[in-house]
Structure formats: C-alpha cells, structure tokens
Structure 1
Amino acid sequence: MSQTVLYARVSTADQTSAHQRKQAEAAGFKVDEVVVDDGVSGVSTVLAERPQGRRLFDMLRRGDVLVVRWVDRLGRNYADVTETIREFMRRGVVVRTVINNMVFDGATTDPVQMAVRDALIGFLAATAQAQAEATKEAQRAGIDHAKGREDAYRGRRPSFSREQLEDVQTALSEGVGVSAIAAATGLTRQTVYRIKENPAEAEAALARWTVGAKAA
C-alpha cells in the first residue's frame, strides 16, 4: 500500500514543521507521516547526509508520494536538488510540492515531455540556490549593521517571520499575485509589497533583529 510522506526541513527558530504540515493539509494532501530535519541547512548539507533525509531514501518505495512545501526544502544546491528528484523518480516515487502543486514522476516516456519536466526541475533548483545566495548576502549585511555598534538602530521589528518571508519570496518567484500571497501568509498587502520591492532590506531587517535578540 502506498503512503504519502511530508518532508519538512526546519532551519531557523521561527520555522515549524507543524506550519508546513498545516499548509500541506490545507492544500488537500492526506499526510500519512511527517519526517523532519530540525536545524539543518539546505545549503551546506545535502539531503542524503541529513539524519532524516537518509531515512527518506530507506522508507520510500515505488508508488509512494513525497510531499515538500517547495523544492528548497530538499535543498538549496542546484546539483543536489536535481539529482535528488531524479533519484526518487528512478525509484518510482512521486515528488509533489505544496506551493503550486508541482508533480514530478517518471511516468512519461515521451521525450518532449521528459525534456520539459527536466528543464523545469533544473529551473526550480537553480532558483532555490539563487535565492539562498541572495538571502545569505542580505543576512550578512544585516548582521554587520547590528554588530557595528552595541546601540545600533535596528528599526521597527519585522511584522513577518522567516518562514513567512520564504513563503512570500517563493510565491513571488512563481508569479503569484500580491493579494493571493497576503491571504495565504496572513500578512498585509502592504507588507508583501514591501518585501517585493526591497527583498534585501526584508532579509536584513530579520537579521538585525535576530542578532539583537541574541545579544540581549
């Protein structure tokens, strides 16, 4: 009997696997089991080397469905993400995303459809890596600002969490409208617009407050 497994990678304190499961179930997925890697970077640690990531390769069988919020939960390295999805497809596992309900499987044998599928996988993996690199740079800028002076002005506390910011950035990259993003994330349209217009500052603001909280 096939199973549907949700894999959640939680890399920061304000991310939760419960939130990712809630999103999946709201999107119509009937999750049989949740597998979570907590506090693991998707940039420096490939899926097969994560404690629960290794478990996925052991537990998933042909016909099973692997659900992830977005491909960046599998990783933020182009080569790792593309190879991971292809390996699961070779094993007969269907990979599905909560955001935009993407479906990747090895069912098609038509060369044109295969080429389109593989190109899409490559594009999404490249986007995940590019977003990770942009995030790292913005975080570094925020941390440098916060560490510059003990009384460094951090500005107003961000009205969004790390997880909400990632949800907004992912949806924007897929062309989702501001109103739809606001409704899905619980943020105001004005907040989504600010993130859209200046994503680097949004990242830096979170970083400044993270550093400040640790120093407090």
Structure 2
Amino acid sequence: MAEKVNNFPPLPKFIPLKPCFYQNFTDEIPIDHQNLVQRIYRLWMFYCITLGVNLVACLAWWIGGGYGVNFGLALLWLLLFSPCSYVCWFRPVYKAFRSDSSFNFMVFFFIFSAQFVLAAIQAIGISNWGACGWLAAVTFFSTNVGAAVIMLLPAIMFTLSALAMFVCLLRVHRLYRGGGGSFQKAQDEWQSGLWRNPPTREAQFSNFSRSSLPEYPTVPNYPGGNRWP
C-alpha cells in the first residue's frame, strides 16, 4: 500500500515548509458522507474568506473615523482563527467520519458550538471587538456612508457563516445520534486510548480479510444523507 504523504495545506515548493495533514475525501471518507464533509470544509474556507473581508472592512472603518483597535483585532482573528478552526473543528469531524470516532464527534460538537456562538457575535458587530457586524455597520452610516457600506459585506458574510454552522451542527448531530452514537462511547474511546490513533479504513479492511474481529467498525454506520428531512 502506498505511503500517504501529507498534502494540506498545499504550499508552494519555494516555501521551506511541508504540509502538516493528509486529506483525501474520496479515499478516507465513506461515500455516503463525503458530500457533507466537503460542505463543512467549504464552510471553513468561507469563514476564512469572511475573516479576510472583515480585515479590509475594519481598515475602511479605521480610515473613515473609527478606532484602530478594530483593525488590529481583525488581523489577529484572521491569523488565529483561520488555522485554529481547521485544526480544532474541521479535523475532528473529518477524523470522526473517517474512523467512526465518537471522541472526535464530541470534540467537534463542543468546539463547533463555540465557533457558532463566536460567529453570531461577530455578525452582531460589537464595537472594539474587531468585527464589522450589523450593529457596527448600521451605526457608522451617520459618520461615513462609504465605509459603512463596505462594513455591511462582512456583516452579511458573518451572518451566513453562523447560519451555515448551525445547520451543519444539527446535521452532524442527527447523523451521529441516528447511528447510535453517545457520550458513553466517547468515554470508552478515551479510556481505551483509541482516540489517539484510531484504525484507518484500510487497516480495518485488513482485519476483516484476516478473519479477525476489528477493534473499530469498518465504516460509520450512519443513515445516508438522502434519508433525512
């Protein structure tokens, strides 16, 4: 079997750094859930783009008469949340569907719920929080109309991000509970240590081919996406 080489993030060859993760939806994610996991991945990319647009809007906010602290915080959020959101909630849900890991599902539910609350707060746009949300954009019309119009764009994008996160959270939770997942299963994985390095799908298949019982289910036993309302 060919060795899997890390391929994410896809860095240019002239950068003396190597990718940190291996990601392949077709090979590692069960076919019934590939579409959902890819949508969550695109949601992560959309949120990163939103943070970049928010940085530009905060610059316009500053130039139009706002406070520079918003621009500084917007830059911090972009540099911090872009990689952290990938590591802290996308990778857990990717590994959860890849190996049917209840522990990773629980990590995803906990962190992704906090991410949803954060995106909702950013959509609101509290002053001096580094986010151009609705409150910040609407109240700034009396100061600078041009800057306020630019600030409306990240407000809309933060709102769409929050709504999409809420839908994804419900979707994954329904699939997990429908497949018999529970907090007890996550505790069992933690106590047994399987959460550190759960068997891959190839290893699980190999266990079957040797007529031995696998330590882990071969694929997540969740209902297909088209069976949910």
Decide: shared fold, TM above 0.5. no
> TM-score, normalising length from structure 1?
0.32
Q: Which one scores higher on RCO, CA 8 angstroms, separation ≥ 6? A: 2
**Higher share of residues assigned helix:** 2
**Higher share of residues assigned strand:** 1
Kindly name which structure, 1 or 2, has the bigger radius of gyration based on alpha carbons.
Answer: 2
> TM-score, normalising length from structure 2?
0.31
